[in-house]
Structure 1
Amino acid sequence: MQVDDADRRILRQIQAEPEAQASDLAERAGVTPATFARRLDRMREAGVVKAIREEVDWRALGYAVEVSLRITLDKTEPRAFDEFIQAAREVPEVINIGTFLGRVDARLLVIARTMADYQRIYRDKILTLPHMTDIEALMQVATIKDSQSVPL
């Protein structure tokens, strides 16, 4: 799909303030509300816009600890990857799972309320995940940039 200047203006406004009224976003993008709606529908159909959604801030719900775990899996086991991912998805405190090429096979982002809570999750839920050969924990100290926006 070709994205023109009007589409980019619409996308910038949606990224900047997704909770705003469509009529306000249309005005800021310099298009009519009808044009805004038609173009947004077209971009949704083309897969350019996947969703406009609310985001829950887990910190506001009392989760204060964030740990990134780098996981290396047993590559001699044919089902290791699939079984590990399936089991990791079932851990509620794992809020993000990424896979990689290279020495590290997967990354889990784990949240917990306290360090004691994290230790319990790590011991009872993470260490029981199948087929791990190595695990490295990186505790996040600060978030410098956290943006889902793309440059338009």
Structure 2
Amino acid sequence: MLDDTDRRILRHLQATPDSPTTHLAEICGLTASNCWRRLERMEEKGIILGQEIVIDWQALGYSVEVSLRITLDKTQPRAFDEFLAAARTVLEVLEIQTFLGRVDTRLSVIARDMPHYQQVYRDRILTLPHIADIEALMHVARIKTDEVLPI
């Protein structure tokens, strides 16, 4: 599916995602048009999903991060769908993951401070449908954040 040149492009693109195509082409030993075509092909195939801006939410005044592990009431046939639809509407929820096992979902929640977190927890999280059990894990430190793939 990918040749060595595609992998080289992806490695450099991951390291410096804001590089212009001309610079990326030069580093990879390609013409700009050939590099652009390869990037476009990888986007069409769904290998490259897009580029995004990453905002440091702590720089915007959010100092609390909590991971909520939630078990749903699976006796309700639409529990997952209804829970996920409602959880998507909570602005302070940055990430939603689903699992197989005892824990069904994990929500990553941010807040400005503990009083704000308590308000979000009481008013927005505990009112989500079909929650059977919830466990809160207070975030202490981010040791590694890396979305770079070993290509």
TM-score using structure 2 length:
0.96
Matched ranges for 1:123-134 at <5 A: 123-134=122-133
Matched ranges for 1:40-119 at <5 A: 40-119=39-118
Partner SS state of residue 101, structure 1: coil
Unaligned residue ranges in structure 2 (runs of 5+): none
Unaligned residue ranges in structure 1 (runs of 5+): none
The two structures, once aligned, show a CA RMSD in angstroms of 1.0
* Identity level (%): 60
Amino acid at match of 1:28: I
Q: Distance in 2 between matches of 1:12 and 1:30?
A: 14
Matched residue, 2:13: 14
Deviations 1:123-148 (A, max 9, x none): 11111111111000111111111111
Aligned residues: 151
Q: Distance in 2 between matches of 1:95 and 1:121?
A: 13
Matched residue, 2:144: 145
Deviations 1:60-98 (A, max 9, x none): 211111111000000111111111111111100011111
Amino acid at match of 1:90: T
- Following superposition, the deviation at residue 30 of structure 1 comes to 2.3
- Following superposition, the deviation at residue 29 of structure 1 comes to 2.0
